[in-house]
Every structure is written in structure tokens, then in C-alpha cells.
A and B are shown apart, each in its own frame.
Chain A
Amino acid sequence: MTLNDLAPLIPLMVIAVSSVIIMLGIAFYRSRAFSGLLTLAGIAVAFITLFGVQGTRQVTSLLILDDYALFYIGLILAASFVVALLSSDYLEGRRENIEEFYILLLLSTLGSSVLAASTHFVSFFIGLEILSVSLYALIAYTRNELNIEAGVKYLVLAAASSAFLLFGIALLYGETGTMEFSRMSSGISAQGINKGMLLTGFALVLTGVGFKLAVAPFHMWTPDVYEGAPAPVTAFVATVSKGGVFALLLRYFIQVDMHAYPSLFGAVAFIAVASMFAGNLLALLQKNIKRILAYSSIAHLGYLLVAFLAGGVMRVTAVTFYLVAYFITTLGAFGVVTMLSGKERDADAVEDYQGLFRHRPWLALIFSAMLFSLAGIPLTAGFIGKFYIVAAGAGSALWLLVIMLVINSAIGLYYYLRIIVVLYAQPGHSEVSAVSSLPLTGSLVLVLLTVLLLWLGVYPEPLIEMIHRMTMRF
């Protein structure tokens, strides 16, 4: 590694340095404004420096900064920026210090970015651990009973899934003799490989990754953690943590051709179908907005896996576009929950939203737009995303999966519309909707997200062009 190799790492270094500066700042003087501004500035500077990275740069065997990695890091940084803005309002006036929140937020963003740029199991595992360890503390951040319970659940299950992942990595390394993704594919096709061992390794890695992505049958923790975590952290878990892992999964299985292993392909197809059905059917029974969104995110990851299973260049485009739409929508939906949440508890019961349109017409409209996008209704980004997934699936003749996807979209429509009906019903007697005034920054963020959502739904060409250019050089 030379000094020249450091240049492409500047975005990651900016994030790391910002977190260290905030930590040192705490030692002298705690200042919410300073930490908050530094966090936002750090993320913004890192985002800008992404454009300074020219071409594809492999930095040691651990990280690669190609257009794909840069795009995903950009997406992750943008999402963290939104979460940082939302959480400053959310944590304001609570008894907890806010500075550590920013440190952990920056570090988990870094972990997720490292995942997006990983080409080696070492950076994959360390990135994942940075992400998870920061999330343990973030989920339990406000330290009420629900928080702590969610944090402990996540801690135990994430640690167990890391053990599976490590065991899988060890088996793959033992069989192929390398931990680099690019050399692994040639190691796999070499003579005298024990297929059983290899498939066991893949299965264990898939288990570890599946847990992080919260796909069925590894989804049990999702509703509890989503419900227990503070609303902005929930948004973070749903977007940044999953986005980084998915980016890595896609990169790994582009370099190691999954279609050569029918049983592996079958396993992922099973996970996709199981996630879609588990997510959508269980969401029907819920009365808590955060739990509904949790199950809906399980289903959405199932949709994403359909595109993931499709072959060719189309799948990168479909997955990336869908992830962008999913990020915007999820951040928007949890943003609304964050804005309405009081100091005592989060606004997560469906009754809290009854007649929201009468009190806060704009917020209700924004929330409806987000839910329409989740349901995949035209004019929203979610529709274009789903369209691409169906196109990618149909292009690879994955008819069964595509039919499952369509059936599930219909089921999903029911519970999204149920929330929307509640939004426009007669107001009930809820203390949450009577929150005095909405914070300005949060409102601006939500408006921006809605504009993006509609813009991508009506005029997606610029983003698709960008993704195409990215995949060309992949």
C-alpha cells in the first residue's frame, strides 16, 4: 500500500476523522450544535470527495473503489445525512446526550460503506462488525425498556449470525485457499474441490447475510427491533445497514457465478419467495406502524432477491434502482413516524394516524405518497423499481418468481391502503397527533424526499442512465 492508494480512500477517511473529532470534542466540551453540524459537514464532504475518485481503484486486496462502490457509498451517505437530520430533532430535549449518537451514526455509515467497497472476506467481516456493533448501541440509544430489549435481541442474534458467517468464510477459505472474491471464482473451478464443503460454506455465509438483510426464514428479529428502536434508527437499520450488505452480496455473486450451483440458486429463490409471503401475510395482522413497515421491508427484500436471481446486466440496474426507490420511500415513511413521535413514546400505533389529514394535511399527503410507493403504484419511484424487477425476472424467464411477486404486490396493497384509509378517516382521540409544531429541518427533508420520489416515478431516465454507466464499467 502506497501513499497514492490513500487518495481514493478520502471519502471513508473523512467519515472516520469526523467521528474521532466529535469524540475528542466530547472530552472538552459537549455541544449538540457542534457535533450535529460536524456530522452533517463530514457526510457532505465525504459525498463531494466521492466525485474526486477517478476510474477503478483497487486499494490493497481488501477494497475496490469502482463506480459501483462509489454509487452505493453515495447512496449510503445520502441516507445517513437524512437520518442525521431527522434524529437531531428527535433527540432534542431528551435526557440522553446526543453526541455519542452522531459518533455511532458516522461509524456505522463507515461500516456500511466499507461493505459496498469490499472485495475480500476480511474487509467484508470487519465492515459488517463495525456496522453491527454501532447498531447495538444505536438501537438501545434512548435506554427505555423497549429500546434495551430491542438492542439485546439484536446483539444476541447478530452475534450468532456473525458466527455462522465466520464459519462459512472459514470453510470457503479452506476449500479455495483465498479470501479474495475475484480469485475465489477460479479457486472454485479448480480440480479436486469438495463441492459439499463449498456448498456448506455458501449456505453458512448466506445465513449470516440473510440475517442482516432480514429475509425469511432469518427475519424473526425484524419486527421487534424495528418497534423497539428509536424511529430514526429504525430508518437507518432499514436502509443503510441493508443497502451495504446487499451491495456486497450482489458484487460477490457477480464475481462468483451463482448459476453454476443449482442448489444455491434454489436456496436463494426459496428465501425470496418465503420473504415475500412471510412479510406480506404477517403485515396484514399488525396494528403497529413500525411493525407493518418491518414486515413490509422483509417483503421488499424478497422482491429485490427476485431481481438478484435474474441474470445479465439487467439485474444490477434493477437491484440498484429498486434500492434507491426503497431508500427514499423507507426514509420518508420513518421520517413521518419520527416527526410525529413524542418524547414519551414513538407514534407507532395505527390509531395515532387516524384523521391525520385533518390536522396535518401535508404530512398525511407525504405519508400517503410513501405508502403508494411501497405498494408500487404508478407515478412513484416504487412503481418504476418494481417494473424493472419484473422486467429483469421476465427477461431471465423466472416466471414462477415473477408470478409470486405479482401476487404479493396485491396482498401488500391491502395493508398499505388500510393505513391510507385511516389517514383520511375522522380524527380519533390520540395525544400524538396533537404535537405542537413540526420541526423545520425534518419537514424540509420530508418534502425533498417526496419530490425525489415523484421525480423518479415520473422521469427516471437520469438515474437509469447513471446506473447504466456504472454497470458498463463493472
Chain B
Amino acid sequence: MNTPFYIAAAVAVISTFMVITRRNAVHALLYLIVSLLSVALIFFLLGAPFVAALEIIIYAGAIMVLFVFVIMMLNLGPQSTEMERRWLTPEIWVGPTILTALLAAELLYVLVRVQVRPSDINVITPKQVGIALLGPYVLGVELASLLLLAGLVGAFHLGRREKSDGGGRA
């Protein structure tokens, strides 16, 4: 039975389409999170629960946290409540909510009826992932750390404020 997969894939495609077509960045972000959740569910269905968890923790989780940070930093003050009320109109949250509810229902269904998962799918455990990463792919892990270093140094340099602007750290 591939129906769960197709439902999750359809949700992914719809939500990603909505991400691209939204004018407002925050609305797009809501759909992006739904898109990431559906991809996580697809990973789960394909027998990779660890990757599914990572997908949620790193992508959906980190993006949510950043989102919250931005809101916290930008909207301090009394007008923020008013702004929130204006932001939270039904047409904004109904779409993502329906899609997420669909995913949640599907996840419950899959969890309750384990036999839905085709038997020929090989479930990869976190231990196997770890062994692969530190065994044959250890060089890849090391290189990925250098990739992060490059990103970090680049972001530091480009984001650094000029001394003359004042307040910035040289």
C-alpha cells in the first residue's frame, strides 16, 4: 500500500507550491514548515525514522526557533498585540492547519497499523546511521565540518559591521 506515501507527497508538493506563491514571508514560512513535516513523514514511511526526526529537529525546529527570535526582537511593545491580531486571520492559518492535520492523522494511522508499511522496506536505525557516518563516510563528515567553517567565516565577514558605523564590533 503506497497510499500514505502519496498523501504525504501530495501535501509536500501543495505546501511547497504555497511557499513559492505567498507574498508575505511569514505566511510562506508557515507553509515551509508544513512542507518539511511532510518530507519527514515520507522519510518515516520509507523506513528512516532517524532522518525523519532530524528533519523535524533541524529544519522545522530550527526555523521555528529563528522565527520566534525574529518576532521577539522586532515586535516588542504594545502595538505587537494589535499586529498579532491582524496577522492571525483565518485565511492565513487555515491552509497550513488542514495540511498539518492531514499529516498528523496519517502519522497516527501509520503508527497504529504498523503492517501498513510494506515488509520489504528495511528500517534503518540510528545506530546504523552512526556506524555509516563514522565508518565508510568519515571523510565526508570531516569535509562537512570544513563546509560549515567556510559558511561561518563567510557569514561573519559579510555580516560584520563597519567600524565607522559605530556600535559594530570590528
Contact = CB atoms under 8 A, between A and B. Distances in A.
A140 B157 CA distance: 10
Contact of B157 (A122, A126, A127, A137): A137
Contacts of B156: 100
B158 A137 contact: yes
A129 B136 contact: no
A141 B157 contact: yes
Interface in B134-167: 135-140, 143-144, 146-147, 149-151, 153-158, 160, 162
B139 A136 contact: no
Interface string A138-177: 1011010000000100000000000000000000000000
Given A20-B149, A61-B136, A95-B162, A123 B154 contact: no
Please classify how large the interface on chain B is, using the bins under 10, 10 to 19, 20 to 34, 35 or more: 20 to 34
A62 B132 CA distance: 13
Interface of B (DSSP majority class) = helix
Contacts of A114: 143
Contact of A1 (B138, B144, B155, B157): B138
Interface string B9-23: 000000000000000
B154 A134 contact: yes
A96 B160 CA distance: 10
A77 interface: no
A136 B142 CA distance: 21
A59 B139 contact: yes
A137 B137 CA distance: 27
A126 B136 contact: no
Contact of A60 (B138, B146, B155): B138
Interface in A64-120: 95-97, 100, 103-104, 107-108, 110-111, 114
A137 B147 CA distance: 13
Interface residues of A, number: 37
A19 interface: yes
A379 interface: no
A158 B156 CA distance: 20
Which of B144, B151, B160 gathers most chain A CB within 10 Å?
B151
A23 interface: yes
A130 interface: yes
A404 interface: no
Contact of B143 (A95, A103, A123, A136): A123
Nearest to B156: A100
Contacts of A96: 157
Interface in B102-138: 135-138
A445 interface: no
A454 interface: no
Contacts of A16: 146
A107 B139 CA distance: 15
B112 to A, nearest CB: 30
Contact of A133 (B135, B140, B150, B157): B150
A130 B146 contact: yes
A231 interface: no
A1 B139 contact: yes
Nearest to A134: B150
A399 B74 CA distance: 65
Nearest to A107: B150
Contacts of A122: 137, 140
Contact of B140 (A9, A62, A107): A62
A268 interface: no
A110 B139 CA distance: 13
Contact of A143 (B135, B149, B158): B158
A127 B144 CA distance: 9
Contact of A100 (B136, B144, B147, B153): B153
A60 B136 contact: yes
A127 B143 contact: yes
Interface in B67-85: none
Contacts of B135: 1
A364 interface: no
B147 A130 contact: yes
Residue of B146, B158, B160 most packed against chain A (CB within 10 A): B146
Contacts of B146: 16, 19, 107, 110-111, 130
B157 A97 contact: yes
Contacts of A134: 150, 154
A138 B153 CA distance: 10
The 5 closest A-B pairs by CB, nearest first: A137-B154, A100-B157, A107-B150, A134-B150, A126-B143
Interface of A: 1, 9, 16, 19-20, 23, 59-63, 95-97, 100, 103-104, 107-108, 110-111, 114, 122-123, 126-127, 129-130, 133-134, 136-138, 140-141, 143, 151
18 contacts: A1-B139, A19-B149, A23-B153, A60-B138, A62-B136, A62-B139, A100-B154, A107-B146, A108-B150, A111-B150, A114-B143, A126-B147, A127-B143, A130-B146, A130-B147, A134-B154, A137-B157, A143-B158
Given A1-B139, A137-B155, 10 more contacts: A1-B135, A97-B157, A97-B160, A104-B154, A104-B157, A111-B147, A126-B143, A133-B150, A133-B154, A136-B154
